[in-house]
Amino acid sequence: MKTNSSTGSLAAWSGYRINLVGLAAFSVVLFWALVALFAPYITPHSVGEMIDLDYFGPMRPGLWLGSDYLGRDMLSRIIYGARYTVGISLAAVSIACFTGVVLGMTSAVLRGPVDMVVSRILDAMNSIPSKLFGLMVVAAVGSSIPVLILTLSVIYVPGAYRFSRALAINIDTMDFIMVARIRGERLPYLIASEILPNIIGPVLADLGLRFVFIVLLLSGLSFLGLGVQPPYADWGALVRENIGGLPFAAPAVIVPSLAIATLTISVNLLIDNLPQKIRDRSAS
């Protein structure tokens, strides 16, 4: 769905049609990225410091987002939580998409036995529900940060693979690939120079989508107590530890949920509303 609110003169000048919704979404994503990056410099209080005598305290000056179940400042907890949520998810999605895309393109170009074997294996991996896989791995190996990143990547490699392979196969049927092949070009050239530039757009959109999936899964795992372990906490873990405040509608339990929602909704909206290059039909 594309909302057609275009900014007229700005659009004509830059050659791109910019969407207000897309712009808003982009700002939110940028905001959280910056928060995650500069976390240590902007937290008002140290993460473990208990500063409020009351727990589940309300939002007020000095404690902008209230206090949590131990009386700690929620604002600081959220800022640091951003680091974990955004950081882990970004790392995982990069690994997943890079692996998936390279494998996908290679399978599409080589076809034959390589394609069959890789596709079968990744299809089988896809048949395990993602939460289940996460649960099992955590049960087996624990939940340190590197394990989390690796597990999350592995779960989403098959999806990235399937998507990029389908795109690459479409490109592969085009005549210009045939022309390159009978010129004598080899696999690395075909992948990097002929196929990748044509699929990079949808691949980046898919990356955004997978990022959202990973954020959701990570938050879910942390909520179940199987993700980021105390004393560190990502947003899902924050909801978990403050769940007791739910009957009081305490900000401590609402705010991390809101943070997750704003991040994921913004990424989704951004993908749907990217600026489009205008190709003006000439009037001649």
Partner 1 sequence: MTSRVPSLILGRLLIALVTLTIVSFAVFFATTLLPGDTATILLGQAATPEAVAGLRTAMHLDEPALLRFVYWIGGLFQGDLGTSYANHMPVATLISGRLANTLKLAGLTTLVSVPLALTLGITAAMWRRTLYDRIVTIATIGVISVPEFVLATLAVLVFAVYLKWLPALSFTYNVDSFSGLLRAYAMPVITLTFGVSAQMIRMTRAAVIETLNTPYVEMALLKGASRPRMVLRHALPNALGPISNAVALSLSYLLGGVIIVETIFNYPGIAKLMVDAVSTRDLPLIQSCAMIFCFGYLILITTADIVAILSNPRLR
Partner 2 sequence: MMTNLVEIRGLTVEATTDSGRWIQILKGIDLDIAAGETVAFIGESGSGKTTAAMTLLGYARPGCRISGGTVTVDGHDMVTLSEKDRAALRGTTVAYVPQSAAAAFNPASTIMEQVIEVTRIHRLMPPDEARRRAIALFRALSLPNPDSIGDRYPHQVSGGQLQRLAAAMALIGDPKVVIFDEPTTALDVTTQVEVLRAFKAVTAQHRIACVYVSHDLAVVAQIADRIMVLRNGAVQETGSVHDILTRATHPYTRELLHAFHPDSGGREVRPVADSGAPLLEINTLSAGYGPPQSNGQPLVLAVKEVSLQVKRGTNLGIIGESGCGKSTLARAIAGILPACKGDIQFNGRELWHSARQRSHDQLRDLQIVFQHADTALNPAKSIEDILGRPLTFYHGLRGKARDARVDALLDMVRLPRALRHRRPAELSGGQKQRVNFARALAAEPKLILCDEITSALDTVVAAAVIDLLKELQRELGLSYVFISHDLSVIEAICDEIVVMYRGQTVETIVPADRQPPQHPYSKLLFSSVPKLDPTWLDTLNIDADRMRVA
Stretch 141-180 residues interacting with partner 2 (CB under 8 A): 174-176, 178-179
Contact flag: residue 9 with partner 2 (CB under 8 A): no
Contact flag: residue 185 with partner 2 (CB under 8 A): yes
| Residue 284 contact among partner 1, partner 2, none, beta carbon within 5 to 8 Å by kind | partner 2
Give the other-Cβ count within 10 Å of 101's Cβ: 25
Stretch 131-170 residues interacting with partner 1 (CB under 8 A): 131-132, 135-141
CB of 8 to partner 2, least distance (A): 8
Stretch 176-215 residues interacting with partner 1 (CB under 8 A): 212
Binding string to partner 2 for residues 249 to 278, with x set by CB under 8 A, is what? ---------------------------x-x
Number of residues that bind partner 1 (CB under 8 A): 43
Contact flag: residue 183 with partner 2 (CB under 8 A): yes
| Residue 141 contact among partner 1, partner 2, none, beta carbon within 5 to 8 Å by kind | partner 1
| Residue 7 contact among partner 1, partner 2, none, beta carbon within 5 to 8 Å by kind | none
User: Backbone phi, then psi, for 175, in 5-degree steps?
Assistant: -65, -30
| Residue 53 contact among partner 2, partner 1, none, beta carbon within 5 to 8 Å by kind | none
**Pick from 253, 255, 270, 274: which binds partner 1 (CB under 8 A)?**
253
| Residue 281 contact among partner 2, partner 1, none, beta carbon within 5 to 8 Å by kind | partner 2
Stretch 14-43 residues interacting with partner 2 (CB under 8 A): 17
CB of 177 to partner 2, least distance (A): 8
